[in-house]
Amino acid sequence: DAGITQSPRHKVTETGTPVTLRCHQTENHRYMYWYRQDPGHGLRLIHYSYGVKDTDKGEVSDGYSVSRSKTEDFLLTLESATSSQTSVYFCAISEPGQGSGVGKLFFGSGTQLSVL
């Protein structure tokens, strides 16, 4: 998976508890992303980062925060987990592509999160 490690791979938690998911890369790529995957919705972008301490919101960022203090690590935090945040979470990395924008995204193995 292109040097991307997500942890944990599976997590079960209770409503109202904080949860942090970690994405670690060994590729030294500039861009990192957090997506969630739900049936019928494809993958939806939660937050992304274009450098250390540089992050921005995606289309479904409510209830999530992120931090990137090192190039290799991108953390996703659910401050107070809700059942609607039960999902599969994917981390992805990329480098700048040809011309503008980013190149191909490489995805981690995913984290299955269940909020009861």
Partner 1 sequence: ELKVEQNPLFLSMQEGKNYTIYCNYSTTSDRLYWYRQDPGKSLESLFVLLSNGAVKQEGRLMASLDTKARLSTLHITAAVHDLSATYFCAVMYGNKLVFGAGTILRVKS
Residue 95 and residue 36 in contact, taking contact as beta carbons nearer than 8 Å: no
Pick 19 or 34: Cβ nearer partner 1: 34
CA atoms within 13 A on the CB side of 67: 6
Report in angstroms how near the CB of residue 49 gets to partner 1 at its nearest: 10
CA distance 29 to 113: 26
Pick 78 or 110: Cβ nearer partner 1: 110
Binding site for partner 1 (CB under 8 A): 1, 31, 33, 35, 40-45, 48, 50, 58-59, 90, 92, 97-99, 101-102, 104-110
